[in-house]
Amino acid sequence: MKQNVRLIISGIFAFGLTYALGFGAQSVIKGQFEQVEVTRAILDAHQALKSGPSDKQNVTIVKETKSAKYHFLNKRSYEVNTADSSRAGTVLTGENDQDKARADRHSDARRTKKPVVQRLKDGSVRVTVADGMKTSEVLVSESLPVVPFSWGIFFAISICLFIASIFAAKKTPVVGSVVLLAGLAISTGVIGSQYLGLSAAEASEFLRAGGRRAPAVVSPSGSFWGTLAAIYVAGAIALVFIATSAFERSLDSVQRSREAYVAISPAMLGLFVLVGIPFVVGIGLAFFRHVHGDYSFVGLDNFRQILTGSEGPHSIFYTLVVTVIWTFLNVILHLSVGLGFALLLHKHASGWTRIYRVILIIPWAVPAYLTALIWRSMFDADIGVINRILGLEGMSWMHDTFTAFCANLITNVWLGFPFMMVVCLGALTSIPGDLYDAADVDGANGWQKFTQITLPLLKPALLPATILGSIWTFNKFEVIYLVSEGRPDGGTDILVTEAYRWAFERGLAQGGAYGKAAACSVIIFLVLLVYGWMTARVSRSAEEALR
At 288-297, the pLDDT tens digits run 887 777 777 7
Q: How far apart are the first and last CA of the chain?
A: 44
Q: What are the pLDDT digits (tens) for 47-103?
A: 777 776 655 557 777 777 665 554 444 456 677 777 666 666 555 555 566 766 777
Mean pLDDT of 303-318: 76
Q: How much is the pLDDT for 74? A: 47
Q: How much is the pLDDT for 121? A: 67
The Cα–Cα gap between 197 and 183 comes to: 22
Q: What are the pLDDT digits (tens) for 246-274?
A: 666 776 777 777 788 888 888 888 988 88
Q: Tell me which range, 272-276, 356-360, 512-516, is most confidently predicted by mean pLDDT.
A: 272-276
Confidence of residue 322 (pLDDT cuts 50, 70, 90): very high
8-state DSSP, 130: E
Neighbouring C-alpha atoms within 13 Å toward the C-beta of 546: 15
Q: How much is the pLDDT for 335? A: 92
Q: How much is the pLDDT for 330? A: 94
Characterize 93-117 residue by residue with b for buried, 16 or more Cβ atoms within 10 angstroms of its Cβ, and e for exposed: eeeeeebeebbebbbbbbeeeebbb
Instruction: Specify the pTM.
Output: 0.66
Judge contact between 219 and 29, C-beta under 8 A. Answer: no
Q: Reduced to 3 states, what is the DSSP secondary structure of residue 209?
A: coil
Mean pLDDT of 157-180: 59
Phi/psi region, residue 356 (left: phi>0; alpha: psi -120 to 50; beta: rest), is: alpha
The Cα–Cα gap between 438 and 431 comes to: 13
Sorted by sequence, the CB contacts under 8 Å of residue 364 that are 6+ apart come out as 415, 416, 418, 419, 422
Q: Reduced to 3 states, what is the DSSP secondary structure of residue 58?
A: strand
Q: How much is the pLDDT for 159? A: 63
Residue 323 has pLDDT above 90, yes or no: yes
Q: What are the pLDDT digits (tens) for 5-18?
A: 666 666 666 666 65
The Cα–Cα gap between 504 and 506 comes to: 6
The Cα–Cα gap between 161 and 206 comes to: 40
Q: Reduced to 3 states, what is the DSSP secondary structure of residue 296?
A: strand
Characterize 474-485 residue by residue with b for buried, 16 or more Cβ atoms within 10 angstroms of its Cβ, and e for exposed: bbbbbbbbbbbe
Least confident of 101-115, 311-325, 427-441, 466-480: 101-115
Residue 507 has pLDDT above 80, yes or no: no
CB atoms under 10 Å from CB of 434, counted, come to: 8
Neighbouring C-alpha atoms within 13 Å toward the C-beta of 232: 18
More confident residue, 382 or 414: 414
Percentage with pLDDT > 70 across the chain: 63
Q: Tell me which range, 142-156, 171-185, 271-285, is most confidently predicted by mean pLDDT.
A: 271-285
| CA-closest candidate to residue 220, choices 288, 150, 156, 300 | 300
Query: With the C-alpha atoms ordered 316, 320, 323, 329, is the resulting torsion angle positive or negative?
Result: negative
The Cα–Cα gap between 303 and 516 comes to: 7
Residue 523 has pLDDT above 80, yes or no: yes
| Cis status, amide bond into 215, omega within 30 of 0 | no
Q: How much is the pLDDT for 205? A: 62
Confidence of residue 406 (pLDDT cuts 50, 70, 90): very high
Q: How much is the pLDDT for 337? A: 92
Judge contact between 426 and 461, C-beta under 8 A. Answer: yes
DSSP E strands, 222-338? 288-291, 294-297
Confidence of residue 145 (pLDDT cuts 50, 70, 90): low
Q: How much is the pLDDT for 464? A: 86
The Cα–Cα gap between 154 and 165 comes to: 16
Residue 241 has pLDDT above 80, yes or no: no
Sorted by sequence, the CB contacts under 8 Å of residue 84 that are 6+ apart come out as 55
Q: Tell me which range, 79-88, 183-192, 229-238, 520-529, is most confidently predicted by mean pLDDT.
A: 520-529
Mean pLDDT of 445-455: 85
Q: How much is the pLDDT for 230? A: 67
The Cα–Cα gap between 503 and 517 comes to: 5
What are the φ and ψ backbone dihedral angles of 297, each rounded to 5 degrees?
-75, 130
The Cα–Cα gap between 149 and 116 comes to: 32
Q: How much is the pLDDT for 487? A: 84
Mean pLDDT of 361-376: 87
Q: What are the pLDDT digits (tens) for 94-126?
A: 556 676 677 777 777 777 777 877 777 666 778
Q: How much is the pLDDT for 129? A: 86
The Cα–Cα gap between 393 and 390 comes to: 8
Judge contact between 336 and 344, C-beta under 8 A. Answer: no
The Cα–Cα gap between 486 and 479 comes to: 10
| CA-closest candidate to residue 346, choices 414, 427, 463 | 427
Q: What average pLDDT does the chain have?
A: 75
Percentage with pLDDT > 90 across the chain: 10
Beta strand 76-81 pairing with 86-89: antiparallel
Characterize 214-231 residue by residue with b for buried, 16 or more Cβ atoms within 10 angstroms of its Cβ, and e for exposed: bbbeeebbebbeebbeeb
Residue 2 has pLDDT above 60, yes or no: no
Least confident of 87-101, 130-144, 245-259, 426-440: 87-101
The Cα–Cα gap between 403 and 392 comes to: 13
Q: What are the pLDDT digits (tens) for 335-348?
A: 999 998 888 888 77
CB atoms under 10 Å from CB of 323, counted, come to: 23
| CA-closest candidate to residue 23, choices 221, 226, 295 | 295
Q: What are the pLDDT digits (tens) for 14-47?
A: 666 655 666 666 666 666 667 777 777 787 787 7
Q: How much is the pLDDT for 495? A: 92
Q: How much is the pLDDT for 72? A: 46
Write the single-letter amino acid at 287: F
Residue 413 has pLDDT above 80, yes or no: yes
Sorted by sequence, the CB contacts under 8 Å of residue 180 that are 6+ apart come out as 160, 161, 164, 232, 235, 236, 239
CB atoms under 10 Å from CB of 439, counted, come to: 16
Q: How much is the pLDDT for 24? A: 61
